[in-house]
């Protein structure tokens, strides 16, 4: 587990972005044993990230007594807790899963993981005294899209699983040199034995039970793009689960996905800001994830899966959610409707990231993702097709929330 000094690898030649929150890292809630296993398998870390390594190590040791107290106080209650079959929100990253999660979170009959659960998945109940400190450390906005965030914000459980297991896609952001390996093992479960999968299932269920403490009578709604490839495993665990699959124009998903990876790596990588190969991985991960979904969605019983086009959701969020409730046999829409409407109104004027793709990049997206483009009948959006510059195969990112000059993305 030797440290290494790695060059900040920026193919666009721009200086690395400053990390505004140097004390906070999503792995600060990891158990010491999980943290050691991750470091051992990571292939080393950048010496410039040594302060983060030390911080995570210190936090993982410090939380040990909280974990023991947590199991002493709640272990028996957790073992007796029977989870209701969740509602799983799936779909590729940057396809609109967060919007659906936030809408469903307005339903008083549903419960959900929060950022607090993800940060301290083993001690979020017993470590209540740390909340004021962590709230002060937290950034006010997500690094990838400038959306406001809070410690009680609905959050994807994959972030919590990164602290509990070595099988989480979030590890690709922390150890980008091994991003493909974390995708193959943590998302696709490729190369895993039955014992490994059973261990993941046990950790996952325990985490969901912890989230459910205090709301045992409510069904969980879980947003996790990685679950798009795990339908067979999830059905083994929850045969009566519901699934909401959301899809979006691939010509928008591609640059947004690349920007997600760049932003998360800049903020949280422990191996320097290595971003070479992100574009190729984005193409490959998308194909593999969606191919797995199309190959396994037939396993979901009739009336348990609904597919939503993001553009339709954005145009009529209340109507789309009403239709989803009806299709999945979920009750309580009218009780949830006022909160959903209030949320929809609150984000209706949010300025989304903008992307400009040149002809070469558009042609590559078309070639790489022709299957979904043809299946869903998408064309190149006018706002994306406005070509800027004369560099073949490059796309320009325009963040309305952060201003221009976020650099180019080699395609």
- 304-326 pLDDT per residue, tens: 999 999 999 999 999 999 999 99
**What are the CA-CA distances from residue 392 to residues 163, 362, 389, 409 (Å)?**
41, 11, 9, 11
* DSSP assignment string, 325-367: HHHHT---HHHHHHHHHHHHHHHTT---EEEEE-HHHHHHHHH
Is 112 in contact with 156 (CB distance < 8 Å)? no
Domain-located, residue 148 = yes
2 in any annotated domain: no
H helices, E strands: number in the chain: 18, 8
Q: Which band of pLDDT confidence, cut at 50, 70 and 90, is reported for residue 49?
A: confident
For 365-378, what is each residue's pLDDT tens digit?
999 999 999 999 99
The answer to whether 184 touches 177, Cβ cutoff 8 Å, is no
Distance of CA 332 to the CA centre of its chain: 27
CA-nearest of 280, 267, 274, 228 to 95 is: 228
pLDDT of residue 351: 58
**Assigned domain for 13 exists:** no
Residue 78 belongs to domain with CATH number: 3.40.50.300
Residue-range definition of the domain harbouring residue 318 = 26-350
Cα–Cα distance between 283 and 279 in angstroms, integer? Answer: 6
Q: Is there a domain that residue 10 lies in?
A: no
pLDDT at 197 over 70: yes
Least confident range of 71-80, 207-216, 294-303, 349-358: 349-358
* Higher pLDDT among residues 99 and 395, named by residue: 99
Would 14 be classed as within a structural domain? no
Q: Identify whether 241 is part of a domain.
A: yes
Q: Is residue 376 part of a domain?
A: no
88's enclosing H/E stretch is strand 87-90
Mean pLDDT (the chain) is: 83
- With a pLDDT cut of 70, the percent of the chain lying above it is 78
311 domain-assigned: yes
- The domain total for the chain is 1
């Amino acid at each position: 587990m030797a440290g290494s000094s790695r060059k900040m690898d920026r193919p666009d030649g721009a200086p690395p972005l400053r990390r505004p929150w140097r004390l906070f890292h999503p792995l600060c809630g990891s158990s010491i044993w999980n943290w050691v296993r991750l470091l051992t398998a990571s292939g080393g870390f950048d010496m410039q990230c040594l302060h983060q390594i030390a911080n995570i190590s210190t936090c993982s040791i410090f939380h040990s007594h909280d974990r023991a107290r947590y199991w002493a106080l709640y272990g028996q209650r957790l073992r007796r807790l029977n989870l209701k079959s969740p509602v799983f929100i799936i779909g590729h990253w940057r396809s609109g899963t967060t919007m659906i999660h936030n809408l469903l979170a307005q339903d008083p009959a549903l419960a959900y993981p929060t950022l607090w659960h993800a940060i301290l998945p083993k001690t979020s109940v017993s470590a209540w005294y740390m909340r004021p400190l962590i709230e002060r450390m937290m950034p006010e906005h997500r690094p990838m899209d400038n959306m406001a965030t809070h410690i009680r914000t609905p959050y994807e459980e994959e972030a919590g699983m990164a602290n509990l297991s070595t099988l989480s896609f979030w590890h690709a952001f922390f150890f980008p040199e091994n991003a493909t390996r974390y995708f193959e093992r943590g998302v696709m479960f490729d190369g895993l034995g039955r014992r490994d999968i059973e261990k993941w299932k046990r950790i996952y269920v325990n985490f969901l039970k912890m989230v459910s403490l205090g709301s045992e009578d409510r069904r969980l709604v879980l947003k996790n793009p990685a679950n798009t490839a795990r339908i067979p495993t999830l059905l083994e665990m929850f045969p009566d689960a519901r699934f909401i699959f959301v899809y979006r124009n691939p010509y928008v998903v591609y640059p947004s996905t690349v920007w997600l990876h760049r932003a998360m790596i800049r903020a949280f990588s422990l191996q320097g800001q290595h971003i070479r190969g992100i574009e190729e991985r984005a193409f490959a991960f998308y194909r593999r994830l969606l191919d797995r979904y199309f190959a396994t969605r037939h396993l979901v019983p009739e009336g348990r899966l609904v597919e939503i086009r993001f553009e339709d959701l954005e145009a009529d969020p209340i109507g789309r959610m009403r239709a989803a409730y009806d299709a999945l046999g979920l009750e309580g829409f009218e009780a949830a409707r006022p909160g959903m409407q209030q949320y929809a109104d609150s984000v209706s004027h949010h300025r989304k990231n903008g992307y400009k793709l040149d002809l070469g990049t558009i042609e590559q997206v078309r070639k790489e993702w022709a299957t979904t483009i043809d299946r869903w009948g998408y064309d190149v959006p006018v706002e994306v097709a406005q070509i800027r510059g004369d560099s073949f195969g490059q796309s320009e990112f325009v963040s309305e929330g952060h201003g221009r000059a976020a650099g180019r993305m080699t395609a």
